[in-house]
């Protein structure tokens, strides 16, 4: 069992962002924190299972004060059975990182921080509508000095500004940082984002395999379509891809336990009024099978063989499209996982 907590506040809505986040509702932070604490108490009281991972995402979690997080963590520790090696991650934006905030979160139990870097180029940051500078090394140093040992960065590629040489230069800068994990996401222009409104499009060239080749040359090993480990694979990600049960607390958060998926109210004001309200979706066996198939093939976990047609499995192995490990079918190329999953249906 894992736990996701959503912090929907941000200073600036980035051009590509389609997440449930708001730049103009900071006045609701106090009421939101109260509602979130109630939500956490209720959700965690429903299970005796150990929580293996907690992930705080957004929005921008470091728009919230240490004092607010003290209350949130009090609700977690009072009501949750955390495993002894629980991974506790927060996302954060570089421009809001401070020594005091990192130290405060470290003292509360944060042991991993995922930093939204997105690019090391000023022109690309401007295109993506990011507010921070390209100078990330001092930010990572501040995080590490607080005692948070596991640091990851996010990068975005396949923008119109990218080419093979420019991406290599960006990834060289990433390589030099004292981080043990990197997520590289291909730009996708979603509905109702600023990029869509401004008619900005991704690159016509796809750099997926170039990104993988360069990162693996820098000792970042791909273990999922968008995720690369330099000695650290994220428990939270692996739990999602392994189709484990998860709880979701906060505005717009999603949880899934057994054959039911739960959706919290998205709008902050509605969530504050009724933080325990959930829309429930019942999943049948076929739904669960599809989920395991699509998620498993995207990563090193693979899919149980008993889900699959023997003849199709044999064909994939003969064509070097997949291999068997621990009685599971693992894709040789995670970028082809979705096509492979559709073919295996």
pLDDT at 189: 77
Q: For the segment 159-199, what is each residue's pLDDT rounded down to a tens digit? A: 999 999 999 999 999 999 999 999 999 998 777 777 777 76
pLDDT at 213: 97
Extract the tokens encoding 167. Answer: 């991406």
pLDDT at 190: 76
CA distance 302 to 324: 9
pLDDT at 167: 97
pTM: 0.94
Alpha-carbon 214 to chain mean position: 22
Burial tier of 18 (Cβ tally within 10 Å: 0-12, 13-18, 19+): middle
- Nearest residue to 12 via CA among 21, 3, 4: 21
Alpha-carbon 341 to chain mean position: 22
Average per-residue pLDDT for the chain: 94
State yes or no: cis peptide before 59, omega within 30 of 0. yes
**Bridge pairing between strands 150-157 and 82-92:** unpaired
Q: Which residues of 288-316 are buried (b: 16+ CB within 10 A; e: fewer)?
A: ebeebbbbbbbbbbbbeeeebeeeebeeb
Q: What does 94-116 look like in DSSP terms, one character per residue?
A: GGG--HHHHHHHHHHT--EEEEE
Determine the average pLDDT of the residues in 330-337: 96
Would you say residue 313 has pLDDT above 80?
A: yes
Instruction: Kindly provide the residue ranges of all beta strands, DSSP E only, lying in the chain, ordered along the sequence.
Output: 2-7, 51-58, 82-92, 112-118, 150-157, 181-186, 221-224, 227-229, 246-249, 254-257, 260-264, 278-282, 303-304, 322-325, 328-331
pLDDT at 27: 96
Which residue has better confidence, 12 or 106? 106
Q: What does 34-52 look like in DSSP terms, one character per residue?
A: HHHHHHHHHHHHT--SPEE
DSSP reduced 3-state for 57: strand
Extract the tokens encoding 49. Answer: 């299972």
156, 187 in Cβ contact below 8 A? yes
Determine the average pLDDT of the residues in 242-259: 96
143, 137 in Cβ contact below 8 A? no
1, 247 in Cβ contact below 8 A? yes
Extract the tokens encoding 65. Answer: 């004060």
Which band of pLDDT confidence, cut at 50, 70 and 90, is reported for residue 17? confident
Which band of pLDDT confidence, cut at 50, 70 and 90, is reported for residue 328? very high
Which band of pLDDT confidence, cut at 50, 70 and 90, is reported for residue 149? very high
Would you say residue 148 has pLDDT above 80?
A: yes
Which band of pLDDT confidence, cut at 50, 70 and 90, is reported for residue 307? confident
pLDDT at 296: 96
CA distance 4 to 114: 14
Extract the tokens encoding 18. Answer: 């389609």
Share of the chain above pLDDT 70, in %: 99
Angle at which helices 164-176 and 208-217 cross, to 10°: 40
Q: For the segment 188-246, what is each residue's pLDDT rounded down to a tens digit? A: 877 777 777 776 677 777 899 999 999 999 999 999 999 999 999 999 999 999 999 99
Beta carbons within 10 angstroms of residue 92's beta carbon: 26
Q: Following CA atoms 255, 257, 259, 265 in sequence, which dihedral angle do they give, to the nearest 10 degrees?
A: -30
Would you say residue 87 has pLDDT above 90?
A: yes
pLDDT at 199: 65
């Amino acid at each position: 069992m894992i736990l996701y907590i959503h912090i929907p506040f941000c200073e600036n809505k980035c051009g590509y962002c389609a997440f449930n986040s708001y730049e103009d509702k900071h006045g609701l932070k106090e009421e939101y924190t109260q509602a979130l604490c109630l939500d956490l108490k209720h959700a965690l009281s429903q299970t005796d299972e150990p929580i293996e991972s907690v992930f705080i995402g957004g929005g921008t979690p470091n728009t919230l004060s240490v004092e607010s997080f003290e209350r949130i963590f009090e609700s977690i520790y009072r009501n949750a059975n955390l495993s002894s090696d629980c991974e506790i991650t927060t996302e954060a934006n570089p421009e809001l990182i401070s020594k005091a905030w990192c130290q405060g979160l470290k003292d509360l139990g944060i042991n991993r921080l995922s930093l939204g870097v997105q690019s090391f180029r000023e022109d690309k940051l401007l295109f993506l509508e990011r507010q921070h500078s390209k100078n990330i090394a001092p930010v990572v140093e501040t995080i590490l000095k607080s005692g948070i040992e596991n640091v990851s960065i996010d990068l975005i590629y396949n923008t119109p500004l990218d080419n093979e040489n420019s991406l290599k230069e960006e990834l060289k800068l990433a390589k030099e940082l004292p981080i043990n994990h990197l997520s590289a996401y291909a730009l996708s222009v979603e509905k109702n984002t600023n990029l869509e409104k401004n008619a900005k499009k991704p690159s016509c060239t796809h750099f997926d395999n170039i990104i993988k080749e360069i990162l693996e040359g820098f000792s970042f090993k791909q273990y999922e379509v968008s995720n690369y480990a330099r000695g650290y694979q994220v428990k939270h990600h692996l739990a999602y891809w392994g189709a484990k049960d998860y709880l979701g607390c906060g505005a717009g958060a999603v949880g899934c336990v057994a054959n039911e998926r739960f959706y919290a109210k998205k709008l902050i004001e509605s969530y504050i009024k009724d933080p325990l309200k959930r829309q429930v979706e019942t999943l049948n066996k076929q739904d669960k099978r599809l989920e395991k198939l699509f998620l498993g093939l995207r990563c090193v976990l693979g899919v149980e063989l008993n889900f699959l047609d023997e003849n199709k499995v044999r064909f994939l192995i003969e064509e070097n499209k997949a291999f068997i490990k621990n009685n599971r079918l693992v894709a040789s190329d995670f970028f082809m996982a979705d096509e492979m999953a559709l073919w295996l249906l």
